[in-house]
Amino acid sequence: MTYRVPTEEQTLAVESFRKFLLAEVRPVTHTYRDRFIPKATMRELTQRIAEFGLPGCTVPVEHGGMGWSYTTQGMLFEELAACSCDVALCVMLNMGLAAMLPGAAPELRERYLPEMLAGRIFGTIGIRELEIGSNVTEITTRAVRDGDHFMVNGTKTGITHGVYSDVFVCAVRTEKGLSHLLIDREAHGYETRNVGKIALNAQSTAQIVIADARVPATHLIGEEGEGLNTMKEFGEHARTHLGVLSVGLMRAALDESIAYVTQHAQFGKVIAARQLIAAKIADMAIRTDAGRLLLQRMLGMMDAGLRCDVQASIAMAFAAEAAVQVCRDAVQLHGANGVTRELDVERLLREAMAVPILGGTPEIQQLAIARALTGVAAFD
Ligand SMILES: Cc1cc2nc3c(=O)[nH]c(=O)nc-3n(C[C@H](O)[C@H](O)[C@H](O)COP(=O)(O)OP(=O)(O)OC[C@H]3O[C@@H](n4cnc5c(N)ncnc54)[C@H](O)[C@@H]3O)c2cc1C
């Protein structure tokens, strides 16, 4: 897989998106730093972002999307992540659902996809339960067949933008095995409760309680009992976007650090003139670039229609861990200023620490990579 220089169209799309983000999204996320952005405000942002092609970038034109490449989507998403990890997570969940819906029943697609592509409704995907995170095969949320409906009961936890969500693709256990049902908050009902965290508090991470929700069987996403396959496909998308999210965090930390070390002086010189500082900046750039290139390989493979589970795990595991190191270095380079809430680097470090827990931890990615290489599962 070779690296491709961005086309003129891609460069223009990225530049105009960056200008918009700095002018219209940055002031809002600055105001709401570590505070929950109200749903109406978040919706205004996602509607404006939709005009630049996210979340519909790779959705085929016949389904209302832009029909662009995954590579272009990755470039745009890196810009968003570098501007705000919270808003990026919100858009990411809609990107995941927008990728699932073209394959869903026409009734579901027509009802939800246009609204989602326009950023008017929020969707989320709930797999994790309190005792079930990495081992998704043990999901306990039940969907019991009742004629042409399912009765759903269970509790999901740690679900990104759960409080915002209007619809929720819920991983359930039916009599045929793991499956996914799209639950509409208004039509079928579920309750959400926000959960505070060390970072990413400008959007919601929530517990979702589903009690006797009566959901039509036509709301199945993928075949009943084939939930592991649906998760695999979704997982590939999620790992890509989370990897790009980490690259965005590294980019932001590097930009902040370059600005600081070239202005801040000690012992009569800007600290950028010190060799140890220069080495740190170079290391940060190497990690950022290596992460971006691994992600670009993956995005290129997705554009070529190739499966890339292992490459996705490699890229995500590397980028997630690299982001923690790069953001930590950024705090260190800023000295005492780095640990204050006056500057952005401490927030970036807290966000970088949260990201490797999402969508499959680096440990789980290591197990998947090693299993693919050796043919031996180190899982139980
Ligand atoms: C901010 C945030 C947003 C999230 N959003 C969503 C969402 O939208 N939807 C959703 O379904 N989930 C979401 N999650 C949940 C996330 O996917 C899980 O937290 C993650 O998969 C890990 O599961 P766990 O937290 O239960 O940890 P556990 O599985 O209990 O793991 C605990 C630790 O043990 C390690 N570990 C586990 N098993 C093994 C093993 N076999 N070998 C070696 N190490 C192992 C893990 O790597 C981890 O370090 C979110 C989490 C966070 C923090």
Name the pairing type of β-strands 123-126 and 167-174. parallel
Identify the residue whose C-alpha is closest to ligand 1 atom 29. Answer: 134
Ligand 1 near 360 CB (within 6 A): yes
In ligand 1, which atom is closest to the CA atom of 132? 26
Ligand 1 near 128 CB (within 6 A): yes
What pLDDT is attached to residue 101? Answer: 86
Complete DSSP assignment for 159-199:
EETTTT-SEEEEEEEETTEEEEEEEETTTT--EEEE---SS
Domain ranges of the chain: 8-121, 124-225, 228-374
What pLDDT is attached to residue 118? Answer: 96
CATH no., domain 228-374 = 1.20.140.10
CATH no., domain 8-121 = 1.10.540.10
131 CA distance to ligand 1 middle (Å): 10
User: Would you say residue 263 has pLDDT above 60?
Assistant: yes
136 CA distance to ligand 1 middle (Å): 10
Yes or no: domain 124-225 corresponds to CATH 3.20.20.140: no
Cα separation, 130 vs 156, in Å, equals 7
Which tens digit of pLDDT belongs to each residue from 337-356? 999 999 999 999 999 999 99
User: Would you say residue 1 has pLDDT above 60?
Assistant: no
Domains 8-121 and 228-374 in one fold: no
Q: What is the mean pLDDT of residues 52-66?
A: 95
What pLDDT is attached to residue 2? Answer: 63
Which tens digit of pLDDT belongs to each residue from 182-197? 999 999 999 999 999 9
Whose CA is closest to 360, among 316, 322, 321? 316
Which tens digit of pLDDT belongs to each residue from 97-156? 988 888 788 999 999 999 999 999 999 999 999 988 888 889 999 999 999 999 999 999
90 CA distance to ligand 1 middle (Å): 19
In ligand 1, which atom is closest to the CA atom of 128? 11
Could you tell me which residue, 352 or 230, shows the higher pLDDT?
Answer: 352
